Amino acid sequence: MDDNNITPLSLDDTFNFSCSKAVPCFNECCRNLQQFLTPYDILRLKNRLGIPSGLFLEQYTARHTGPESGLPIITLKTDGYKLKCPFVTPSGCSVYNDRPSSCRMYPLARIVSRSRETGEITEQYMLIKESYCLGSSQGKTWTIRQWEEGQETGIYNEMNDLLMEIISLKNRLMPGRIDVKSEYLYYMACYNLDTFRSHIFEKGILDNLNLNSETLSAIKDDDEALLKLGFQWIKQIFLGRQN
């Protein structure tokens, strides 16, 4: 994207944006996609559809390898030559309440960096202006804080920041590709949660962690708790780091 179409913003800066069926470009942002999905995006979407994570990954995603991290990354499969989101309909997004974090943030992008010395997270925001999108000509004015609150990005940001912490540590301590087994375990713990859960309870892959009964009870039914445990496990096993 042309840097001239990106404007840096702080949390209290304002921008204009509205999107509805009344806007002529409605649904255009759901075409020509290269949509990356985070682990929490997949958690929400597979639960919204009521299908296991393995089936969701098979039907709706493609798997790639990060060029810098060497870790698996996931993109959304698109429909047809227009590269349309499989969840968009003429009336809008069919999974709107569980849409991915990048959809929630649009027309903003959130960029996160973490201090190696203190671990403190620094946020940066960019306003994206694309030629097809007429939403910025609509009247409503927002601050970044108001937009994030209205789009309910809090839990998405929390989970995505945990993932970014792992990627940052991995790049610093273990640069380059990882072995096939480690790649499989990372992919399972981050993205294929239902398989991860079955491996915990049926194959005992976390028995050496001596998880207490409260934790085991939580991860049996709570995917968010399971994903957080997966992140902790990855840090411990692959990076030699514990919370």
For the stretch 230-240, pLDDT in tens is 999 999 877 66
Q: Which of 127, 156, 185 delimits the end of a domain?
A: 156
- Residue 189: the pLDDT is 97
Q: Which of 156, 185, 212 delimits the end of a domain?
A: 156
Instruction: List strand residue ranges (DSSP E) for the chain, in order.
Output: 6-9, 14-16, 36-37, 61-65, 72-76, 88-89, 92-93, 108-114, 121-128, 141-143
The answer to whether residue 59 scores a pLDDT higher than 70 is yes
Q: Which of 156, 175, 198 delimits the end of a domain?
A: 156
Number of domains comprising the chain: 2
Is the whole model's pTM more than 0.75, yes or no? yes
The answer to whether residue 243 scores a pLDDT higher than 50 is no
Based on the fold, state whether residues 148 and 35 are members of the same structural domain: yes
Based on the fold, state whether residues 121 and 172 are members of the same structural domain: no
Based on the fold, state whether residues 147 and 170 are members of the same structural domain: no
- Residue 241: the pLDDT is 53
Which domain, by its residues, includes 10?
A: 3-156
Segment 139-156 mean pLDDT: 94
Q: How many helices (H) and strands (E) does the chain have?
A: 9, 10
| Alpha helices (H) in 30-179, listed in sequence order | 39-49, 53-60, 101-105, 144-150, 154-173
Segment 11-15 mean pLDDT: 93
- For all residues of the chain together, what is the average pLDDT? 90
